[in-house]
Amino acid sequence: MDNKAVGKRVWEAVGGQKNVNSLVHCATRLRFKLKDESIADTEKLKSDPDVIQVVQSGGQYQVVIGSNVADVYQAIVDEEGLADQPTEEEKSGNLLSKFIDIISSIFTPFLGAMAAAGVLKGFLSLATVLGWLAADSGAYQILFAAADGVFTFLPVMLAFTAAKKFKTNQFLAVAIAMALVYPAITAAAGAGTALDFFGISVILSPSGYTSSVIPILLAVWVQSKFEPLVKKIIPQFLQMILVPLIILVVMVPLVFLALGPIGTIAGNALGGLFNSIYDFSPIVAGLIMGSFWQVFVMFGMHWGFVPIMFLNLDQFGYDILMPMLLPAVLAQGGAALAVAVRSKDSKLRSLGISSTITALFGITEPTVYGVTLPLKKPFIVACVSGGIGGALIGFAGVKSFASGLVSLLTIPSFISTIDGVESNVTMAIIATGISFILAFVGTLLVGFEDPAGETKKKATAGETLSSGRHNLKSPLTGKVLPLSEVTDQVFSSGAMGKGIAIEPEKGELVAPADGEITTIFPTGHAVGLTTTDGIEILMHIGMDTVELNGTGFETVVKQGDQVKAGDLLVKFDIEAIHAAGYSTVTPIVITNTDQFADVLELDQKEIISNEDFLAIVK
């Protein structure tokens, strides 16, 4: 590959100097921040033989190059004189993209805890309806505290992750959030007690700020601007005490007097916008959300709807949006199951079954990126089916009384917990079942291009290579996962090559074979190795861990080093990476898969380092 020529083609296709705000790279892709993504010639890039894929998500225009992305990046930097270009997010640009990027960064770290709490809350509702638990029993109250605590003190969790996003003191942000949900303040709000701050009236909503979203986000953003100013004024030796003191004394009253009411008004307006569409026609609202939800997910736009769900729950005690999304999620599972039934390709059948199961539990990335979207027709059938189910749920007025990951497990949360407020759970089940069946039957009838024939051709071509089989050693100790379950679409779709993923239990990455270190990032999160047999291996520790800038990683080797199987390559701190909000699931892919007859996974669920884990068939 001529890196200079590739860099020039990519640079011209994205619009050049006039359209590029910044450029950085990770282990596999060039990450552009563009002034106008519509200017970029996406189709031209996708047809480029040296470009694996183009991904537009979260305000970034990502051009997937592969393991030699660093060389292409450097070629662009050298050729275009970008050494002085800013690598931070541009100060101006698409407001929607910036909003989505902020929301996703803030909500993602505690999404698992929030989803678990929502499911638990739903099951507790089911348990009381069926008479399994009494609402005044100790067991119910303890479990309900576990389920409802996340939502009651949501501003505290939001403060912590928002402070990380806005690069300000996380513990001061949490202190501000704790003031917002302080029991005495909440009680005063509920009782309608008038409060004032040195004669200035304080406006409180009846529920106070528990479960609120926008007020604390505004507060932390203002804190991020105010804190550096305070640090400039206060001498270094006094900053430890005086900076936090000044921030609390200024920010907490400011939040109660101005930012909180402003956030509440903005939130009510945002929720009112969607609710006005719903009031105009619940069927149309359900049809749109059910049909296009997975499209929103693909482009990261789904995060823009998360605040609306929380605002509805906070304002009304229930949400009308989340139930509409369930048919869209399960329809993808129905289409994937049809692919598994109809395909003659053993790997695709296996992927179809596993991704159907993950879709039932609300994880659609493996389903969409690994099965339905690459085959195109199943994805379209699933979207249409999801729209039909969403319209039925809108018509029936189904409501959710807890938030969480949309899946089969959230159905109990559709049971009404508010006197006088009805929710048609039966119709939710029927509509979701209809969407699943329609997607399944529709995919069988419409069909798709089965890659089984292509697989046979590839194997035949492989016979011209030297025959034999080479087993690679596992570079990690941990739990083995299919590559399709990796949340990054480039890896899960197989665009980078075949392989597997490992969720490590020990923070040591070792060489899977004898060879040469061809790529190692200064951040330590990704290593490329070419074996003595010509197998090119990319090992990417975690998802988006490039953003840690090397924190928690220690590299032991450097580019060009010759290593033996089992040699230590990178040490990494699993707990520190998790604490920072990142996954450590590690894809290990053969980037030159097409040069071999096949790459076979060995049937393992748990593995230790230096144990056989992939077989390369030549």
What 3 state SS string does 34-98 have? ECCHHHCCHHHHHHCCCCCEEEEECCEEEEECCCCHHHHHHHHHHHHCCCCCCCCCCCCCCHHHH
Rg (CA), the chain: 26
Whole-number pLDDT of residue 461: 35
**What mean pLDDT comes out for the span 156-177?**
91
406 has a pLDDT exceeding 70: yes
pLDDT at 391: 94
The secondary structure element, H or E, covering residue 21 is: strand 20-25
* Calpha distance 342→378 (Å, rounded): 12
Q: Give the burial string for 454-474 (b: 16+ CB within 10 Å, else e).
A: ebeeeeeebeeeeeeeeebbb
The letter for the amino acid at 294 is Q
pLDDT of residue 199: 86
pLDDT of 457 above 70: no
Mean pLDDT of all residues in 529-536:
90
Say whether pLDDT at 89 is over 70.
no
| Candidate list 6, 10, 13, 26, residue with the active-site label | 26
Among 186-200, 266-280, 387-401, whose mean pLDDT is lowest? 266-280
Specify the pLDDT at position 220.
94
What per-residue confidence (pLDDT) applies to 301? 60
Domains defined for the chain, CATH in brackets: 3-80 (3.30.1360.60), 95-276 (no CATH), 317-449 (no CATH), 469-617 (2.70.70.10)
For residue 68 the two structure tokens come to: 């030699």
Residue at token pair 């861990």: 545
Say what the pLDDT of residue 388 is.
Answer: 96
CA-to-CA distance for 592 and 216, rounded, in angstroms? Answer: 48
**HEC secondary structure over 208-234:** CCCCCCHHHHHHHHHHHHHHHHHHHHC
Secondary structure class of 261 (helix, strand, coil): helix
Please tell me the predicted confidence (pLDDT) of residue 451: 66
3-state secondary structure 265-317: HHHHHHHHHHHHHHHHCHHHHHHHHHHHHHHHHHCCHHHHHHHHHHHHHHHHC
Q: Is residue 203 within 8 Å of 263, Cβ to Cβ?
A: no
Query: Is 383 among the residues known to form the active site?
Result: no
| DSSP codes joined into one string, 431-493 | HHHHHHHHHHHHHHHH----THHHHHHHHHHHTTSPP-EEEEEPSS-EEEEEGGGSSSHHHHT
Query: Torsion angle of alpha carbons 140, 143, 148, 154, nearest 10°?
Result: 160
Between CA 617 and CA 467 the distance in angstroms is: 8
CA-based nearest residue to 61, from 296, 299, 295: 299
SS3 of residue 588 by DSSP: strand
- pLDDT bracket for residue 610 (50, 70, 90): confident
Q: What is the pLDDT of residue 84?
A: 41
Confidence of residue 294 (pLDDT cuts 50, 70, 90): confident
Mean pLDDT of the chain: 83
Q: pTM for this one?
A: 0.48
pLDDT tens, 126-136?
788 778 888 78
Cα–Cα nearest to 247, from 260, 234, 265: 234
Residue 458 has pLDDT above 60, yes or no: no
Question: Is the pLDDT reported for residue 434 higher than 90?
Answer: yes
User: CA-CA distance, 47 to 29, in Å (whole number)?
Assistant: 16
Query: Tell me, what's the pLDDT at 302?
Result: 65
Tell me, what's the pLDDT at 104?
64
Mean pLDDT of 238-260: 91
Token output for 513: 């074979």
Q: How many CB atoms lie within 10 A of CB 229?
A: 10
Residues 144-154 have a mean pLDDT of 85
Residue 115 pLDDT > 70: no
pLDDT of the residue at 100: 60
Does residue 455 surpass a pLDDT of 50?
A: no
Q: What percent of the chain is predicted at pLDDT more than 70?
A: 87
Both tokens of 548, joined, read 């840690």
Q: Residue 99 above 70 pLDDT?
A: no
Q: Residue 267 — very low, low, confident or very high, per pLDDT cuts 50/70/90? A: low
Average pLDDT, integer, range 555-560: 90
Residues whose CB falls within 8 Å of the CB of residue 547, separated by 6 or more in sequence, listed in order = 582
Nearest 5°: CA angle at 526, between 2 and 592? 50
CB atoms near residue 432 (< 10 Å): 26
Mean pLDDT of all residues in 445-456: 67
Provide the residue type at 198 as one letter: F
Q: Which residue would you say has higher pLDDT here, 492 or 393? A: 393
Instruction: With a cut of 60, say whether residue 237 has pLDDT above it.
Output: yes
Between 256 and 269, residue with greater pLDDT: 256
Q: Give Cα separations from 429 to 59, 323, 426 (angstroms).
A: 36, 10, 5
Among 317, 309, 314, 310, residue whose Cα is nearest residue 278? 309
Q: What is the pLDDT of residue 335?
A: 93
Contacts of residue 236, defined as CB under 8 A and 6 or more positions apart, other chains included, come to none
Residue 98's pLDDT band (boundaries 50, 70, 90)?
A: low
Q: What SS3 class is residue 600?
A: strand
317-360 per-position pLDDT tens digit: 888 888 999 999 999 999 999 999 988 877 778 878 887 887 88
Where does the pLDDT of residue 87 fall: very low under 50, low under 70, confident under 90, or very high at 90 and above? very low
pLDDT at position 369, please?
65
Q: How far apart are alpha carbons 208 and 314 in whole angstroms?
A: 10
Q: Using 50, 70 and 90 to split pLDDT, how confident is the model at 466?
A: very low
